[in-house]
Amino acid sequence: MKHILLLGAGRSSYSLIQYLLAHATTEDWHVTVGDFSVVLAQEKVGSHLRGSAIHFDINDTALADSEIAKADVVISLLPPSLHFKAAQSCLKFNKHLLTASYISPEIKSLGAEVEAKGLLFLNEMGLDPGIDHLSAMQIIERLKAQEAKISAFRSYTGGLVAPEYDNNPWNYKFTWNPRNVVLAGQGTAKYIINGQYKYVPYNRLFTHLEDVSIQNITYEGYPNRDSLMYREIYGIANIPTLLRGTLRKRGFCQSWNAFVQLGMTDDSYVLENSANMTYREFTNSFLQYSKVLLVEEKLASLLGVSTDSELIKKIDWLGLLGHENAGLERATPAQVMQRLLEKKWKLDEGDKDMIVMQHIFEYESAQGDFCTLRSSLVVKGENEQDTAMSKTVGLPLGIVAKLLLQGKIDLKGVHIPVQKQIYEPVLQELEAYGVNFSEIITK
């Protein structure tokens, strides 16, 4: 019997756990789900005879080592900052490691040792990053085989609420880790357009937008992290245009930019007296002192809008002008924002989320035609638990874990999934779960 240890039973784990348990009997697996909350883990595992739920704390070294030592494959859905601790333990006990997170410099530094031990540490095996890599590489390799010359590649992904459940003025609800949403984009985004390198700092990120149309809906996309490094990774090192971005409903980014400019998404310092602060006081703490002006007036003036503008109404709808207590001890501004947004942007009972992804390739065919290829993906969730986000993050991890335990992947070292032996079978199986891309080529 093979043992799979899954670390983390949060929002994105549901589909992964269901997939692993569904295959556990035929593949002869036992699936252990570990979370700081054993109750949360038990809810996901249920009464399945091939599954068990345990309390797990990666910071408890003895506990972590004990559980990881029993496994054949470890799948980490822990916060990205904790993957390295899991990686160190996996290396110590010669265990494979799979994650959905961006590869970190720390984990990357283990490459030689991981390869020497005959192990695979596969990162970026979720949605974005993950399915975006798989599908992009499949198209890139196909175009290369057709002797096409690729001149531009743009890739966009968004985790959104499905249109029929989009019922708040922000046109957004949480479908994945709220902390990651609040902190999204911090740093400098890098990409290249027609041979010109572009660098977009955080304070301008949400004004740096491009329209992207998918199934007759136009979204706004902003650049995501460092696109430049993927030229080499994707084998298109000399391509003059490459941009990876994130999608939101139109109008979201301009409104969210207000919080960035105010400083409300800062996670680098602790607010004084945050436990007794109301959300109105929280907002006022970022505005200039005045004996006569109301918070609404100061806020509108700073943002360059009127007090009855849609932006101020959106901010008011969130509760940031109200008198509810934030109630967080020693909180950063970002933590206060997260606490509030988790209440206002949660998926309600029966709500469905939606994943949208689009790759746009421009190329010259072997026949000399200049073409644009659009490959689009739209996936809707079933409900507030069985979400499209959970499906598209979790299923790639589950499928690759199965392939690895079946001996169908012989890759060693620290990698991300850009190899044919990974992208072909994973994409093929994903189609059975409704994760299907549609292509349109125009000349």
d(CA 353, CA 45) in angstroms, rounded, equals: 23
Q: Which of 123, 146, 171 is the last residue of a domain?
A: 123
> Measuring CA to CA, which residue among 68, 82, 86 is closest to residue 32?
68
176 has a pLDDT exceeding 90 = no
Do 141 and 241 fall within a single domain? yes
| 311 in Cβ contact with 301 (< 8 Å) | no
What pLDDT shows up at residue 377? Answer: 97
Q: What's the whole-number average pLDDT of the chain?
A: 95
Q: Which domain holds residue 43?
A: 2-123
Question: Which residues contact residue 20 at a Cβ distance below 8 angstroms, ignoring those fewer than 6 apart?
Answer: 4, 6, 29, 31, 51, 398, 401
Exposed / middle / buried, residue 12 (Cβ in 10 Å: 0-12, 13-18, 19+)? buried
> Measuring CA to CA, which residue among 63, 62, 70 is closest to residue 93?
70
408 has a pLDDT exceeding 90 = yes
- Percent of the residues in the chain that have a pLDDT greater than 70, as a whole number: 100
Cis amide linkage into residue 80, ω under 30° from 0: no
Do 229 and 361 fall within a single domain? yes
* First-to-last C-alpha distance (Å) of the chain: 53
- 412 inside domain: no
The alpha carbon of 150 is separated from its chain's Cα centroid by a whole number of angstroms, namely 27
Q: Alpha helices of 30-104 — where are they, by DSSP H?
A: 38-45, 61-70, 83-92
d(CA 117, CA 413) in angstroms, rounded, equals: 8
Do 112 and 139 fall within a single domain? no
Do 337 and 363 fall within a single domain? no
d(CA 87, CA 347) in angstroms, rounded, equals: 33
384 has a pLDDT exceeding 90 = no
**pLDDT level of residue 412 (50, 70, 90 thresholds):** very high
Do 357 and 329 fall within a single domain? no
- 403 inside domain: no
Q: Which of 123, 156, 179 is the last residue of a domain?
A: 123
Do 219 and 356 fall within a single domain? yes
What pLDDT shows up at residue 373? Answer: 98
pLDDT in tens, 103-140: 999 999 999 999 999 999 999 999 999 999 999 999 99
Do 53 and 82 fall within a single domain? yes
What are the CA-CA distances from residue 111 to residues 107, 121, 222, 397, 400 (Å)? 7, 8, 32, 20, 19
pLDDT in tens, 217-243: 999 999 999 999 999 999 999 999 999
**pLDDT level of residue 410 (50, 70, 90 thresholds):** very high
Do 152 and 199 fall within a single domain? yes
pLDDT in tens, 263-276: 999 999 999 999 99
- 437 inside domain: no
- 432 inside domain: no
d(CA 351, CA 203) in angstroms, rounded, equals: 33
- 397 inside domain: no
Sign of CA dihedral 331, 337, 340, 343: negative
The CATH number for 321's domain is 1.10.1870
- 393 inside domain: no
DSSP SS3 for 312? helix
- 20 inside domain: yes
**pLDDT level of residue 385 (50, 70, 90 thresholds):** confident
Do 217 and 269 fall within a single domain? no
d(CA 36, CA 344) in angstroms, rounded, equals: 25
What pLDDT shows up at residue 282? Answer: 96
**pLDDT level of residue 12 (50, 70, 90 thresholds):** confident
Do 161 and 246 fall within a single domain? yes
Length of the chain: 443
Do 228 and 321 fall within a single domain? no
Full DSSP string of 134-153: HHHHHHHHHHHHTT-EEEEE
Q: Which of 123, 141, 171 is the last residue of a domain?
A: 123
- 414 inside domain: no
Amino acid occupying residue 89: S
**pLDDT level of residue 175 (50, 70, 90 thresholds):** confident
What pLDDT shows up at residue 333? Answer: 97
The CATH number for 113's domain is 3.40.50.720
Do 72 and 202 fall within a single domain? no
404 has a pLDDT exceeding 90 = yes
The total number of structural domains in the chain stands at 3
Amino acid occupying residue 102: Y
Question: How confident is the model over 74-91, as a mean pLDDT?
Answer: 95
pLDDT in tens, 273-328: 999 999 999 999 999 999 999 999 999 999 999 999 999 999 999 999 999 998 89
